[in-house]
Amino acid sequence: MSAVLVCLSDYPRDLVEGWVADGDVEVVLARRGAPMAEVLPDLERADVVIGDAARTFPLDGAVLARMRRCRLLVHPAVGLDGVVDLDAARAHGITVVNAPGYNAEAVADWTLMAMLLMLRDGTAADRDLREHGWHARPLGRELGAMTVGIVGYGAIGRAVHRRLRGFGATVLLTDSRPVPPGDALDGRQVELDDLLGGSDVVTLHAPLTDTTRHLLDARRLARMRDGSVLVNAARGELVDEVALAAAIEAGRPAAAALDVFATEPLPPSSPLLALENVYASPHIAAGTVQARQRVRALVGDAVRGALLDLTTTDAG
């Protein structure tokens, strides 16, 4: 009997079929925008599932309980929050593989771009020139003269730090675990409240967990420096967005660059969109050609390995 591979991500058929060309494998691609009820019959007979990078097909406990044949779930992203119930997967014997670190360089590039845009008021300068013509604007600030606080020191936080060294910025960092001095490069690990009060730019790279949801609430936002900048390319729910809008109007922080939001797509009614000193992008920080190549290579290797093991086990 053929093995069944179900792909929930929006991948081209020739790409997915190329991963399993040497085996007896039926490839099923979920229809974009399909309700879970349409996809569920295929998930019930799947041996291997590629999760949905766009997070439109969440695999909760009820769905996983019906995936009785599934041996492996490959999720082509870093974060699993809100898209895969890991406890349920373990309970049903499903191995879950994600893609840690594949997007670190891409997100770090976006983060530095965002810092520079905000410190030099780049988007406002462009808008002002187009609307009002050529005239002088307020002075910007140099990244090398800033103290940057990195919240979360995993692969992306470290990649951001490496880039900041080239600018000469002072770096503070905080993480849920102690960072060995040698791993912290020239940065200094401090408590979160101290980082917020001591940084001109704060950039978030922590995972979303029960303890980090609304990590930056009204109280903590008020600890930020006057004129400071907040950058978030991690998870929207790390920040209380209502509190952030009020904090920006009060000047602490004075500006924010945001690639992620608690609700995506971001509703047009979001108070953040009404603020001129907020730079917003539609969850694209990881979106580079190179990052896509890395994650697809990782998914392909995992799928091939799982189906090879499956074939070998069945033959034995």
The pTM for the full model equals 0.91
One of 235, 237, 241, 296 is an active-site residue; which one? 235
Is there a domain that residue 301 lies in? yes
Shared domain for 37 and 178, answered yes or no, is no
- Sign of the CA dihedral running 120, 122, 127, 130: positive
Element (H, E) at 151: strand 147-151
Cα 113–Cα 115–Cα 120 angle in degrees, nearest 5: 95
Burial class (CB in 10 A: 0-12, 13-18, 19+), 205: buried
Of the residues 223, 283, 292, 304, only one is catalytic, namely: 283
Total domains in the chain come to 2
In this model, does residue 81 exceed pLDDT 90?
Answer: no
**Domain limits at 48?**
3-100+290-315
User: Judging by DSSP bridges, how do beta strands 147-151 and 201-204 pair with one another?
Assistant: parallel
Say how many C-beta atoms besides its own lie within 10 A of residue 282's C-beta.
11
**267 and 168 within one domain:** yes
Q: How far is residue 264's CA from residue 137's CA, in Å, rounded to a whole number?
A: 34
Whether 96 and 108 share a structural domain:
no
Say whether 45 is catalytic: no
Q: How far is CA 23 from CA 20, 303, 311, in A?
A: 6, 11, 8
Same domain, 190 and 301: no
Separation in Å, CA 107 to CA 15, 111, 285: 25, 6, 5
Domain membership flag for residue 285 = no
**Residue 110: which pLDDT band, with cuts at 50, 70 and 90?**
very high
- Contact in structure between 73 and 94 (CB atoms under 8 Å): yes
On the question of pLDDT at 316 being above 60, the answer is: no
Taking only the tens place, the pLDDT of each residue in 185-204 is: 899 999 999 999 999 999 99
pLDDT in tens, 3-53: 999 999 999 999 999 999 888 999 999 999 999 999 999 999 999 999 998
Same domain, 167 and 257: yes
Residues in Cβ contact with 211 at an 8 Å cutoff, skipping those fewer than 6 apart: 176
Please check whether residues 114 and 146 belong to one and the same domain. Answer: yes
CA distance 175 to 162: 17
Burial 29-64 (b: 16+ CB within 10 A, else e): bbeeeeebeebeebbeebbbbbbbbebebebeeebb
Q: Do residue 117 and residue 47 come from a single domain?
A: no
Same domain for 303 and 276: no
Can 71 be counted among the known catalytic residues? Answer: no
Residues 112 and 259 in one domain: yes
Q: What pLDDT, on a 0 to 100 scale, did the predictor assign at position 14?
A: 96
Asked if residue 299 has pLDDT above 90, the reply is: yes
Contacts of 146 (CB under 8 A, 6+ apart): 119, 169, 170, 199, 200, 201
DSSP letter (8 states) at residue 274 = G
283 is catalytic: yes
Name the strand (E) or helix (H) holding 242: helix 241-250
132: tokens are 């009002």
pLDDT single digits (tens) 223-240: 999 999 999 999 999 999
* CATH, residue 295: 3.40.50.720
131 CB-contact burial (10 Å; exposed 0-12 / middle 13-18 / buried 19+): exposed
